[in-house]
Amino acid sequence: MDDLEQVILAYVKREYIDEDDNREVTPTTPLISGGIVDSFSMVSLKRFVEKKYDIQIPDADASTAAFDTVQKIVALVERFRHAKV
């Protein structure tokens, strides 16, 4: 779980935070409602976790609320990873 969290957190920091943007991003920082990732960019974030963890998240489950923090994304990924087994 921790590794998953670190990987997604690192990706969010690298891809969605500009160099001069000194906001701190933690696993509980609101991403969508906090204006860090917008609903359009969420598609690339979803694509990343699907590719990285070899899962498919149906559109019905990929809500802005489900992607609002790294912690919530981890829970979503875990759910679909287990569903696959």
- Which residues bind to another protein, rule: CB under 8 A? 15, 18-23, 30-41, 43-44, 47-48, 51, 59, 63-65, 68
DSSP code of 85? Answer: -
Cβ of residue 8: shortest distance to another protein, in angstroms? 14
**Which residue, 1 or 26, has its beta carbon nearer to another protein?**
26
**Which residue, 37 or 74, has its beta carbon nearer to another protein?**
37
13 burial (CB, 10 Å; 0-12 / 13-18 / 19+) is middle
User: Quick one: residue 63, left, alpha or beta (phi over 0 = left, psi -120 to 50 = alpha)?
Assistant: beta
**Which residue, 2 or 22, has its beta carbon nearer to another protein?**
22
